[in-house]
Chain A
Amino acid sequence: MSRSSRLSVTETQRKSTPVVKKAVIRSRSYDGDAFVNLFAHRGARDIMILDSHGVPLRSTCSQRRTFVFVSNLKPLLFMARNVVRDLDPSNDITFMRIRSNMGEIHMTLGTDFILIVVQKLRRLRSSSTS
């Protein structure tokens, strides 16, 4: 059965199909939808779940957009991990946040998965370090 997820009120007309690359057995069919709805309520625009090697498993946006995000973010993730390992070999990165003027990208690095949440800001903000 084809499942769809709604990201926001303005996108009720357009349904985005989650990209499922690996068959996952779930006890309840709406588990992923609850997860997506919770994040959408908090202002998340796109959610992607990758495995530890950077292969996308699930995503709330289209396949092309998922590929663009993953191809851009994967080298950044691995470089960040290497940077942290270089500075302190006993330390390890757990979370990464990239803030820009228009949006924000959160990346959680677990042992088995990588979770990427893309958020959009309400209005344009000037970049300042205050």
Chain B
Amino acid sequence: MASNTVQMTFDRLVQLPGVTGAILIDGNGVPVRTNLPANVARIYADRMRPLVILARSMVQDLENGDELSYVRLRTRRQETMVATENEHTIILIQDNRVLDESWRSSVASRRASAL
């Protein structure tokens, strides 16, 4: 049941604008679904796992009872979102320019609707 929900969420996330890569990782750190080559997905999963573990423990240290939602790493060319939910982890790689344009258009449309 939860696995189906995560799979549907993954399918929805792949449709976002500017997504150049998406990886779904289960609790054991094994990539379950991805649109990248298998070795690239494995490398991303292995590299992001200690980062997520450290971020989760850091969030719990700073505020008791708090939980990590996601980590966003913005680099010069792309933006990587690592979302953790229960045991599954979704890594989403988006292009900076497309992401900025979609964000700007959403802000403009919201402002237009507010007027």
Interface residues of A (CB under 8 A from B): 68-69, 72-73, 75-76, 79-80, 83-84, 86-88, 91-103, 125, 127-130
Which chain B residue shows the least CB distance to A101? B67
- Most chain B CB atoms below 10 A, which of A91, A96, A103: A96
Q: How far is the CB of A103 from chain B (nearest CB, A)?
A: 7
Of A76, A86, A91, A96, which contacts B76 at CB under 8 A?
A91
| CB-defined A-B contacts under 8 Å, sample of 15 | A72-B61, A76-B51, A86-B47, A91-B76, A91-B77, A91-B78, A95-B72, A99-B68, A99-B71, A100-B69, A101-B66, A101-B67, A103-B63, A127-B68, A130-B9
Q: How far is the CB of B70 from chain A (nearest CB, A)?
A: 5
Contact with A along B61-86 (1 / 0, CB 8 A): 11101111111111111100001010
- Collect the chain A residues with CB atoms within 8 Å of residue B54's CB: 75-76, 79
Q: Quick check: B44 and A129 within 8 Å, CB to CB?
A: no
Give bound CA distance, A97 to B54, whole Å: 14
Given A100-B66, A128-B85, A130-B12, the answer on whether A72 and B76 have CB atoms closer than 8 Å is no
Give bound CA distance, A101 to B50, whole Å: 21
Q: Quick check: A100 and B59 within 8 Å, CB to CB?
A: yes
Given A94-B76, A101-B67, the answer on whether A72 and B9 have CB atoms closer than 8 Å is no
Of A68, A98, A128, which contacts B68 at CB under 8 A?
A98
Give bound CA distance, A99 to B69, whole Å: 5
Give the 9 A-B residue pairs with the shortest CB-CB distance, closest first. Answer: A95-B74, A97-B72, A129-B83, A99-B69, A127-B69, A100-B59, A72-B58, A91-B75, A100-B66
